[in-house]
Every structure is written in C-alpha cells, then in structure tokens.
Chain A
C-alpha cells in the first residue's frame, strides 16, 4: 500500500535508472517485461519492484542495465533495430533525467516470443 509520502521517498540512482527502463518498456509497443521463470529479472525497489529490468551498479557509480523482454511476434521491426531503439531510448531518458553519465552498458535480451498461436 502506498501513499503520497511514499512516492516522495528518495531512491538511489540505480533504482531511478531501473524505473526509467521499466517505463520505457511499458511505453514501447510490441514488447513486455518478463521476470523469467525464477523471477530473477527484476530490480528490488522501495515501493514496487521493476519487472524485467536488472540494474547493477559498479564501484564507480556506473549502472549497467539489462532489459528482459517478451516480444510480440511478428515484431514490427527487426529485433536488432528494436533493441537499438530501446537502448537509444533509455540513454535519452537518462540524459533528460540528468543521469546520463551514470548509465553504463545497456543490454537487451529477448527471452520469449508471444504470438497468436497458443503457447507462443
């Protein structure tokens, strides 16, 4: 349960970048976040975990981000292009939020496909 005071809680840069990545996935058509079979692919955050995003900070404050996605098949564009678009989008969002210098490598993993056939 959250309230207004919870939403004002300060979060680390790592969690803030993970949230940006989570928002980017939610805003991108044709992909959805996945936490994986063991639920490992998520970032633990104060109010709500960020699904499908793994953010790891190194000793220099640089945050590497992994996006784990289910892609709708057929995709609107080649997977490489889609991955590049997501990486570019996250860098732009981070720069806009003043955290561009802290964002390290951004990796995109297409872990599953979701099609019209049952089971896809």
Chain B
C-alpha cells in the first residue's frame, strides 16, 4: 500500500515539476528577448510577477526565521515534513516493482505459481474454442495474499449468436483451468464494434 501511494505521489510530483519547469523555462526564454527595462526583459518579468511586493510581504517572515520564535518552529516542522515527503518520493521512484504471480500452491518447500500473462493466454486459447466465439480477451488478477485470483474473460461473438449460449460455452471451457488455479471466473459476451478486428 505504501509503495502504491509513494509511486503515485512520485508520478504526480514528477508531472507537476516537469510542467512547471517547462512553463518557467518558456517564460524566461520569452522575457529574455529584449534587454534593459523593456517589456520582454527579465526585469519586466520580475515586475509582472510582482517580486517587489512579494519581498515586502514575506521579508518580515524571513527575518523572523533567522531568530527564535514561533515562525522558526513552524519552519523546522515544515522542513522535517519536506524531508519525510522526499524520502517517500525516493521510495516511490526507487522501490522495485515486482509482478504478482497467481500462486497455485505454496508451502515450506517452495511455491508453484504462474505468471498472469501465461494464465491469460491459456484462458484465451480455451475461450476461443467454442465455434460461436470469434475472439476472446482475458485479464488475470492474482490475489494479493494466498493462492488464486480473478479471471475476466470477454468472448466476442456474432450479433446473430445468442450471448447467453456463448457465455455458458466459454465458461465451461475455462472451468477446469480456473479450478486448477483457484481462479474466480467472470465471463461476458460482447459483439465486436463495427469494423473492429476479430482475430
């Protein structure tokens, strides 16, 4: 869970930082076209951003930071928080992502497992065996803990074919595989979109 949160946070921060950096770089480039105190000069950019007023606003706060007092305490807490967020971001960036496997059996002697992609391919092969199925798509999600997982199979069929019959036939085909891997199966039938490839 912590890894998911930190990974998501790291992606969001990376997106925001790169976007702001790009915008800032573009602004500096545009405001470097002219020199002196012209409109498109760096002093002009400082005027647009109101840096003089900003200095007046935060100047007293910055002075307070230099001495003891409530502002220094707040700044220390904010600094500690920034360090923690930084560590979380580092964890999100550097933590290795490990693909979960569909565990078939696990004991002290080791684990027997299958990769979701392999299970999906097998389920797809089985799901396409009924004659009225044009094409099948499978998605396997292993359980976070313990054996088994979930298999979602979509069977594409012709518009003229009975959807319930297709679903039932497909379910029968994958039942044995699902039971041997302790998978919960969800089968649905669909008619392919007009013009979509079916094989």
Contact = CB atoms under 8 A, between A and B. Distances in A.
A79 B181 contact: yes
A112 B113 contact: no
B114 A79 contact: yes
B112 A84 contact: yes
Contacts, number: 65
A78 B121 CA distance: 16
Contacts of A113: 118, 121-122, 125
Main secondary structure of the interface of A (DSSP, over half): strand
A17 to B, nearest CB: 13
Contacts of B69: none
A107 interface: yes
Interface of B: 101, 104-105, 108-115, 117-118, 121-122, 125, 180-181
Given A65-B110, A73-B121, 19 more contacts: A64-B110, A73-B122, A73-B125, A79-B180, A80-B105, A80-B180, A83-B104, A83-B105, A84-B112, A105-B109, A105-B110, A105-B111, A107-B112, A110-B113, A112-B117, A113-B121, A113-B122, A117-B125, A120-B125
29 contacts: A65-B110, A79-B112, A79-B114, A79-B180, A80-B105, A83-B112, A84-B112, A87-B109, A87-B110, A105-B108, A106-B110, A107-B110, A107-B112, A108-B110, A108-B111, A108-B112, A109-B101, A109-B111, A109-B113, A110-B114, A110-B115, A111-B115, A111-B117, A111-B118, A113-B121, A113-B125, A115-B121, A115-B122, A117-B125
